[in-house]
Amino acid sequence: MFNLPKLPFNDTDLEPYISAKTIMYHHTKHHQTYVTNLNNLIENTSFSGKTLEEIIMLSKNDSAHMGIFNNAAQVWNHTFYWNCLQNKGQTPSQKTQDMLVRDFGSIEVFKEQFKQAALTQFGSGWAWLILDDGHFKIMKTSNADLPMAHGKTAVLTCDVWEHAYYLDYQNKRGEYIDIFMDHLINWEFVESFL
């Protein structure tokens, strides 16, 4: 039985960049629905009692359990996404900046490549910064798919499902991504994986 995790911030904390209304719907409606669906789908099955990560890894690439995978992954993705957000003016540490320069050439190229991944994810999905053999890489996934299912370690994500930005930015996904990159990344959370 899974519960909706509490947000690591107040729902007004990301204003003016992400409204309290967006956070409220995204957390208490969308995220909650994935939790509720997952609980209903795993009840009285072999998945019951397993951790979220175990459920994701056991149900991936299994067409008979696609609903379980999608809802479990979306529960995980959203909890991870909330942890990636802050509005306290954080910037990456010198060590992180050095790693970004080593792996992308410059901070600007990192931002461009992350934005490109987030912008070109056709339809619903996620843009990620991942660690692959100790190196940062950019990844994008569709719908509920996530780096874990591909043996990669996520360190940052941006939700590019329309529900993440439509109330505040309508169809302008690019503006939402720019705001995310420039103001909202919780670098302390990213650095907890380094």
Q: How far is the CB of 188 from Fe ion (least distance, A)?
A: 22
Closer residue to Fe ion, CB minimum distance, 55 or 164? 164
DSSP letter, residue 171: T
Structure tokens at 87: 């509005």
Q: How far apart are CA 72 and CA 118, in angstroms?
A: 22
Closer residue to Fe ion, CB minimum distance, 104 or 176? 176
How many angstroms from the chain centroid is the CA of residue 83? 9
CB 96 within 8 A of CB 187: yes
Closer residue to Fe ion, CB minimum distance, 99 or 160? 160
Q: How far is the CB of 182 from Fe ion (least distance, A)?
A: 20
User: Which residue is nearest to Fe ion, using beta carbons?
Assistant: 159
CB 152 within 8 A of CB 139: yes
Q: How far apart are CA 11 and CA 131, in angstroms?
A: 29
Which residue is it, tokens 């670098």?
187
In the window 145-184, what residues touch Fe ion (CB under 5 A)? 159, 161, 164
What's the full length of the chain, in residues? 194
In the window 71-110, what residues touch Fe ion (CB under 5 A)? none
Q: How far apart are CA 44 and CA 136, in angstroms?
A: 40
CB 149 within 8 A of CB 11: no
Q: How far is the CB of 147 from Fe ion (least distance, A)?
A: 16
Instruction: Count the residues of the shown chain that bind Fe ion, applying the rule CB under 5 A.
Output: 3
In the window 41-70, what residues touch Fe ion (CB under 5 A)? none
Q: How far is the CB of 95 from Fe ion (least distance, A)?
A: 30
Closer residue to Fe ion, CB minimum distance, 35 or 164? 164
Closer residue to Fe ion, CB minimum distance, 27 or 50? 27
Q: How far is the CB of 109 from Fe ion (least distance, A)?
A: 27
Binding site for Fe ion (CB under 5 A): 159, 161, 164
